[in-house]
Amino acid sequence: MDRIGVALIGYGLAGQVFHAPLVAADPDLEVRAIVTANPERRQKAQRDFPEARLLATPDELWNDTAGIGLVVVATPNHLHAPLAIAALGLGLAVVVDKPMALSTAEAGTMLAAAERAGGVFAVFQNRRWDSDFLLLRELVEKDRLGGLFRIESRFERFRPEVNTKSWREETSSEAGGGLLMDLGAHLIDQALLLLGQPRGVYAEIAAARPGAVADDDCFLALEFQGGARAHLWMSALAPSTGPRWRVWGSRGALEVWGLDPQEPYIVGGGRPGEPGYGQPDGSQRAVLTQGGEDGPGREVPLPAGRYGDFYAGMAAAVRGEAPVPVPAQAGWDVLAVIEAARKSAATGTVVKPAPRG
């Protein structure tokens, strides 16, 4: 069976680390075009994929999509909507990096375009395949914790100076920069996958570092039907970081420290499919405590992380063999929570997210 040709728009961090290596590792996919105007990134793209077409603008791709079945949008956030809509209009399958768009209004336009085209459309939420989240979902599915009623989830870092070379830090929150749209999109997506749609959002959002133009320290409290709650932290100002997860059910609790090792593995030159990819490397520790146990609980093994599952699922979806691994509607749901969080932070009130249209 012929491999599906993939065009990657954008070759910064997202394109180089989170998309191109995963696409290249999948036996059903092939990187055939890369769109970037940056000279240094064009050189790297040529070294990484010498057989791929190098294009300077998306229009060059739209004018010749021969051999392309899937377009991956890995650009700054404000370009997600127009590029995805253009690709869908040409009958191409589309993956758009998170966050899906700048607003639910933009996201709704994208969903409508996909419906008109009858196209395959997904949002890249790779952290659904983090080792810690895979462990948590396994425990929930096996009912090892009991019904969940409290989730604490964190992405905390200590980067006290603004990175003036990062568009995420040099772009205002309203234009798509900041941690809420970046790390927050992951934490919100995971919480919604576990608990459903929230009925109330309370948030504290700040651009706290000197010279910051985008949010860099955020806290969200989500309340769900039945009383379950999720507390989410994302910060660049944490000299001491808390556990990645602290999850309580009616019978047990899971705590995880440390971050999934897949990103640093790829940044360090490793590639999916190599021996050891995704395997625990000692940087994480998971502890399961059952209700009534004395002591601190017992360590449990973490599974291997599996970012590659996303693109394996996309290949199956493009061939019509399975649904997309992350429906685009999930991207809209995340943005509804982000908009409610911004309104909450501005007013100091609990805000109900907009209902699905």
CATH number for position 77: 3.40.50.720
113 and 37, same structural domain?
Answer: yes
108 and 179, same structural domain?
Answer: no
Boundaries of domain holding 208: 127-306+337-347
Instruction: Give the residue ranges of DSSP H helices in the chain.
Output: 13, 20-25, 39-48, 58-62, 80-89, 104-117, 131-141, 167-170, 183-195, 262-267, 308-318, 328-347
Give pLDDT, residue 188: 98
Please list the pLDDT of the chain residue by residue as tens digits (357 residues).
699 999 999 999 999 999 999 999 999 999 999 999 999 999 999 999 999 999 999 999 999 999 999 999 999 999 999 999 999 999 999 999 999 999 999 999 999 999 999 999 999 999 999 999 999 999 999 999 999 999 999 999 999 999 988 889 899 998 899 999 999 999 999 999 999 999 999 999 999 999 999 999 999 999 999 999 999 999 999 999 999 999 999 999 999 999 999 999 999 988 888 888 999 999 999 999 988 666 678 999 999 999 999 999 999 999 999 999 999 999 999 999 999 999 999 999 999 999 987
On the CB side of 317, CA atoms within 13 Å amount to 22
Split into its structural domains, the chain has a count of 2
171 and 267, same structural domain?
Answer: yes
Contact 339, 201 (CB under 8 A): no
Strand residues in 175-310 grouped as ranges (E): 198-206, 217-224, 229-235, 245-249, 252-257, 285-290, 298-299
Contact 31, 52 (CB under 8 A): yes
183 and 118, same structural domain?
Answer: no
29-35 and 4-9: which strand pairing? parallel
CA proximity to 121, closest of 174, 180, 51, 70 = 70
* 327: Cβ contacts below 8 Å, ≥ 6 apart: 122, 123
Give pLDDT, residue 295: 65
pTM: 0.96
144 and 274, same structural domain?
Answer: yes
196 and 269, same structural domain?
Answer: yes
Q: Does residue 330 lie within any of the structural domains?
A: no
Tokens of 138: 């396994």
Q: Does residue 249 lie within any of the structural domains?
A: yes
273 and 320, same structural domain?
Answer: no
Which CATH number goes with the domain that contains 213?
3.30.360.10
Q: Does residue 256 lie within any of the structural domains?
A: yes
75 and 189, same structural domain?
Answer: no
Q: Does residue 189 lie within any of the structural domains?
A: yes
CB neighbourhood size of 64 (10 A): 11
Q: Does residue 353 lie within any of the structural domains?
A: no
118 and 80, same structural domain?
Answer: yes
Q: Does residue 159 lie within any of the structural domains?
A: yes
104 and 214, same structural domain?
Answer: no
